[in-house]
Amino acid sequence: MPIAFRGFDCAEYFSSSTFRRGVVDPESQLQLIYSESQLRVIKAADFLAVGSAGADGIEFGFRKGISGLWAFHPNEGRFQAVASSLQSLVAGFRDGSIRV
């Protein structure tokens, strides 16, 4: 795991070649989980962006020092808890149970 990502609960991402390659949702044609080269830290929010919700600049990711996956709503400057793991984020996004 790169030094820049320490402090984020992102071991699941780095332990899976599937997540590191990125995950596309075929129905929405959305890059739901970013490939490793697309990851970025939003320093002002202590947020590691690992995916996109596809609207309004909302991204999925990890908060520094806090467990779980979150949606960051940049226009409102707020976080929304969405899943306990990347696997459940992908499943919930695809079945519609995760909404942002």
What pLDDT, on the 0 to 100 scale, is given for residue 2? Answer: 76
pTM above 0.85, yes or no: yes
In this prediction, residues 31-55 reach a mean pLDDT of 95
What pLDDT, on the 0 to 100 scale, is given for residue 19? Answer: 96
What pLDDT, on the 0 to 100 scale, is given for residue 3? Answer: 82
Q: Among candidates 73, 86, 99, 79, which has minimal Cα distance to 16?
A: 86
Within 8 A by CB and 6+ apart from 2, the residues are none
With 80 as the cut, is the pLDDT of residue 18 above it?
yes
